[in-house]
Amino acid sequence: MNTRDLEYLVAVAEELHFGRAAERCNASQPALSGQLQKLEDRLGVKIFERTKRRVQLTDIGEQILVRAREILQHVDALEMVAAAHKGPFVGTCALGMPPTIGPYLTPLLLPAIKHYLPDLHLDLVEDFTDNLEKQLTAGDLDIAVLATSPMQKNLSEIPLYDEPFWVAIPNGHSLARHDAIDIEQIEPGELLLLADGHCLRDQVYEACNLKRGGGGDGRGPKTQKTSLATILSLVGSGEGITLVPAMSLSGAWVTDSGIALRPERSGTAGRTVRLAYRNGYPRMALVEKLADIVAGIVPNTVHPVRR
């Protein structure tokens, strides 16, 4: 038994198809099938139930899959310990961000990484916060930039910057006459919100002191499966109002978009962005370095926690 056998096992369990699993593992299907057959023979149990139409895990196969994933995670950790000893700033780092951070931070981060960490290769992943935490816990990600404190117990964080929210209003709206806007001035029915799963949606609910269902359900269009860019287009078309993170103010949508931007008067509406990582992660020097880099590149519309 070797780690390659376990990688084959996990691939088939996730793909439920030997051909796709073989392609994923850069192996021929006969070789993959043969190795899994040898693994089953060695263990004396059937891991997969095979028919002409489908592949599925047996009950004992489900238990073996859990252990196989754990072993592969330990192997990855062992390799990371060795890599960290050789140089924490060398090699690959899988970095995750939610879609309300990635498009605005990434263009600033990549040139800085090339300058300060030329031997580091970033694998960027964009996903909802819950999914990023799961991938971080499973070892599929090394580090994640999050706008909420991680909920998983094996994750820790380093605060990066405090980011205020700005109010985006159609140019012709009555509130556009104000230099700053009180949250209480915004009609809940005019708010355009991202779909459930976006942490920004929850943060806007909190900032506006809304009950669930109290915003984004008024006379404006439904926005359940839209991006922040689409919602801003709707604002520019006069369909409603939204709150945007300050980092997004550097986007191209700010000019010639039919949108007036105003600060939120109280200064309390916003979020803290942080780096999240697994407890015991062996490349802590890299985590600290990335935190310092981010603190040094963010614009003056946000407030770095580190300097």
- Non-local (6+) Cβ contacts of 250 within 8 A are 104, 299, 301
Collapse the DSSP code of 206 into the 3-class scheme (helix H, G, I; strand E, B; otherwise coil) and give the result.
helix
Q: What confidence tier does 223 reach under pLDDT thresholds 50, 70, 90?
A: low
Report the predicted TM-score, pTM, of the whole model to 2 decimal places.
Answer: 0.69
| Spans of all domains in the chain | 3-84, 88-161+271-304, 163-263
**CATH code for the structural domain at 88-161+271-304:** 3.40.190.10
Please write the tens of the pLDDT for every residue from 18-63.
999 999 999 999 999 999 999 999 999 999 998 878 889 999 999 9
Q: Is the pLDDT of residue 235 over 80?
A: yes
C-alpha dihedral (186, 192, 197, 199), degrees to nearest 10: -40
Please write the tens of the pLDDT for every residue from 58-110.
999 999 999 999 898 888 878 777 766 667 788 889 999 999 899 999 999 99
Residue 142 burial by Cβ neighbours in a 10 Å radius (0-12, 13-18, 19+): buried
Sign of the alpha-carbon torsion through 63, 66, 72, 74: negative
Are the CB atoms for 304 and 114 separated by under 8 Å?
A: no
**CATH code for the structural domain at 3-84:** 1.10.10.10
The owner of tokens 């359900």 is 217
Count of CB atoms situated within 10 Å of the CB of 270: 20
Predicted local confidence at residue 7, as pLDDT: 93
Please write the tens of the pLDDT for every residue from 251-296.
666 766 788 999 988 888 889 999 999 998 888 999 999 999 998 9
User: How many percent of the chain have pLDDT more than 90?
Assistant: 51
Please write the tens of the pLDDT for every residue from 161-197.
999 999 999 998 999 899 999 888 888 888 888 776 6
- Domain 163-263 indexed as CATH 3.90.1420.10: no
Mean residue pLDDT of the chain comes to: 86
Average pLDDT over residues 140-158: 93
Predicted local confidence at residue 194, as pLDDT: 77
Tokens representing residue 71 in the block: 């072993």
Predicted local confidence at residue 211, as pLDDT: 54
Query: Please, which residues bridge with residue 242 across strands?
Result: 168
Domains 88-161+271-304 and 163-263 share a fold: yes
Whole-number Å distance between alpha carbons of 103 and 10: 32
